[in-house]
Amino acid sequence: MIVACFLMAIMMSAPVLAAPPAEGPPQDMTGKTVAFVDVAGTINLNPEAILAATRLKPGDLWTPDKVRQDLRLIYELGTFSDVTADFSLLPEGVKVVYNVKENPVLKGIVIQGNQKVSKDKLLPLMTVKTGSVLNSKTVAINLRAIEEYYKGQGYILAKTGDVNFSPEGVLTVKINEGIVEDIVVKGNIKTKAHVITREMRTKKGQPFNSKDARRSMQKLYNLGYFEDVNLKLQPGKQPGGTILEISVVEQKTGTFSIGGGYSASDGLIGIINVGDKNFRGVGDAVNVHWEIGGKASSSGNYSVGYQKPWLDSKQTSLGLTVYNMVAQYNDYDVNGDNTSTYNRRYRGFDVTLGRPANEYLSHFVTFKNRWDEYVEWVSGQTYSDAYIKDNYGLTRSIILSRVFDSRDSNTNPSTGTRYSLSGEFAGLGGDFNFNKYTAELRHYWKVGKSQVVAARGMMGYGSGHIPYMQQFTAGGIDTLRGYRDDQFRGNRLFTTTFEYRFPVAKRVQAAFFADFGNAWQSDNFDLIKDIKTGYGFGVSVVTPFGPIRIDYAIGNQGGRTHFTFGGKF
């Protein structure tokens, strides 16, 4: 194997090739007139094309500097491995002969070491022509083009440093893609290291990719376990290798709260809520809500949720919720007037399995087994036994969901899109037989340095016997501000929201918003005439207990204040 000397000089920096110095001519040639300029040693190349690149022409005065300049110009053509000059003094003047040694003819190109970029993508970047004399200048340009292509794909450590040319005329380009030799986690106290590394898109033994690294940081932040995440590249032991160092600063993930309340219907109630979204540092989420006392809830209200995000290496997730809750509810007419107050129990369980299809797309299947029970009347309108039988009972259904999420953050997004499609199919031995289809789209635009425009649209369609408590609802902080919670109901739904968000202080964000929408039965509805609108101003604050948001909205029936824990969409 012959390592061509001209290729050794054309790596990343591609320095200007220094030509060999000309032989020192007899002193009396200086100042003589050049009579002839010729080229010797060419086999496949046209001497006239070479002479066209030189500066020294017949009739010029001969000087050593001009000859050295021409040697450099010929060398920089890229098709010669050596260039020298001979001089002789004739009666007509000085004769200059440039002796060249052509590069071999290129017969083929071989690319090695490429794992992440196919040869079909790289070979078109090699513009040197087979069957022609190898041009080292073009090769240098081609190598830079390959590295720039790798960088464009996120492989910023990729190098094309090992290039050789065989006696058979085959050019071999070896690519070092910058392998991650190891991943080191620092700063984690509670969180297990594998919980962090499993979220990394870049894996040990694979080339480092800056796009994957940015996505990995987003995923780690979205876990909600860390205040800060930093990635550093340390030199590896192998040439071109690197060690990826992940430094994290953990934050509190557990919650504990005790509260209470009193109402005329329920009496004195005690509330305990305990949760941890990083239970035992393994990434599982657990939450327990328990209410003690009260007339309607003498058996105790509770809900228990458990979420395991990684069941296997394919990131199959499992979610389980068990609940038995009694609470006081209000029904409203279209004008927002309270028509009935009563206690209702809902109990049952949900089981959800999920798996990602790719980096941004996931699929979920949920089995829901829920029993709704009308407990007792409190005030206002009373409902007949026939109505209660028709709207309360066992709902047993399967829910299929498809979720795409490319947002930069799932708590305070500034760019990206999230859409979800779901279908609920009830029956399966329950008391109700219906189908419900829901579509939701969210999108975020970053405006300026820290302002965000957010938009969301939701549509719902239902068919069959949908009981009252399973219908689509609109009204309240989640759908239509300026109206009472769940003020509008039906088997159809349309809502849309626009928000302009901007920071006012550290951990404090404000927003102007406008909501449009309604929920209705399929008959006698005019989407334009009957659409409800609400607009207003809101403030959200990030506290140690999570985000808190207060909105004031003006709807068709006046103004209303909404308060909620947790971030807005």
Residues 308, 230 share a domain:
no
> CA geometry: angle at 417 spanning 405 and 452, to 5°?
130
d(CA 509, CA 454): 13
Give me the residue label for tokens 């938009």. Answer: 455
Residues 121, 9 share a domain:
no
CATH number of the CATH domain containing 208: 3.10.20.310
Residues 474, 557 share a domain:
yes
Q: Identify whether 540 is part of a domain.
A: yes
d(CA 208, CA 216): 12
What type of residue is 366? T
Smallest Cα–Cα separation from 296: which of 347, 345, 346, 349? 345
Q: How many CB atoms lie within 10 A of CB 213?
A: 20
d(CA 41, CA 47): 9
Enumerate the β-bridge partners of residue 408: none
Residues 52, 17 share a domain:
yes
Q: How many CB atoms lie within 10 A of CB 322?
A: 14
Q: Identify whether 403 is part of a domain.
A: no
Q: Cα dist. 421→362, 386, 436, 438 in Å? A: 11, 34, 11, 6
Number of residues written out for the chain: 569
Q: List the domain range (segments joined by +) for residue 156.
A: 108-176
Q: Confirm whether pTM is higher than 0.75.
A: yes
pLDDT in tens, the chain (569 residues): 333 444 444 333 333 333 344 444 444 677 789 999 999 998 988 999 889 989 999 999 998 888 999 999 999 999 998 999 998 888 888 999 999 999 999 999 999 999 999 999 999 999 998 999 999 999 999 999 999 999 999 999 999 978 888 888 899 999 999 999 999 999 999 999 999 999 999 899 999 999 999 999 999 999 999 999 999 999 999 888 999 999 999 998 988 888 766 655 566 777 888 999 999 999 999 999 998 876 545 456 899 999 999 999 999 999 999 999 988 889 998 888 999 999 899 999 999 999 999 999 999 999 999 999 999 999 999 999 999 999 999 999 999 999 999 999 988 899 999 999 999 999 999 999 999 999 999 999 999 889 999 999 999 999 999 999 999 999 999 999 999 999 999 999 999 999 999 999 988 999 999 999 999 998 777 777 889 999 999 999 988 777 889 999 999 889 999 988 877 78
Residues 558, 467 share a domain:
yes
Is the separation of the CB atoms in 277 and 285 below 8 Å?
Answer: yes
Is the separation of the CB atoms in 6 and 82 below 8 Å?
Answer: no
Residues 123, 25 share a domain:
no
Residues 236, 262 share a domain:
no
d(CA 393, CA 333): 23
d(CA 361, CA 366): 17
Enumerate the β-bridge partners of residue 6: none
What's the confidence (pLDDT) of residue 257?
81
Residues 445, 527 share a domain:
yes
Give me the residue label for tokens 């279908």. Answer: 423
Pairing between strand 472-474 and 451-464?
unpaired
Residues 567, 449 share a domain:
yes
What's the confidence (pLDDT) of residue 442?
97
Q: Identify whether 416 is part of a domain.
A: no
Tokens of 285: 């989420």
> CA geometry: angle at 311 spanning 347 and 243, to 5°?
140
What's the confidence (pLDDT) of residue 1?
36
Is the separation of the CB atoms in 223 and 171 below 8 Å?
Answer: no
What domain count does the chain have? 5
Smallest Cα–Cα separation from 208: which of 234, 226, 173, 174? 234
What's the confidence (pLDDT) of residue 270?
79
Q: Which of 216, 250, 284 is the last residue of a domain?
A: 250
DSSP state of 187: S
Residues 332, 264 share a domain:
yes
Residues 385, 266 share a domain:
yes
Give me the residue label for tokens 């029904």. Answer: 331
What's the confidence (pLDDT) of residue 29?
75
What's the confidence (pLDDT) of residue 526?
77
What's the confidence (pLDDT) of residue 8?
40
Q: Identify whether 327 is part of a domain.
A: yes
Q: Which of 158, 176, 194 is the last residue of a domain?
A: 176
Is the separation of the CB atoms in 112 and 177 below 8 Å?
Answer: no
Q: Identify whether 450 is part of a domain.
A: yes
Q: Identify whether 412 is part of a domain.
A: no
Q: Identify whether 258 is part of a domain.
A: yes
Element (H, E) at 423: strand 416-426
Q: Identify whether 225 is part of a domain.
A: yes
Q: Which of 392, 427, 450 is the last residue of a domain?
A: 392
What's the confidence (pLDDT) of residue 38?
92
Residues 338, 273 share a domain:
yes
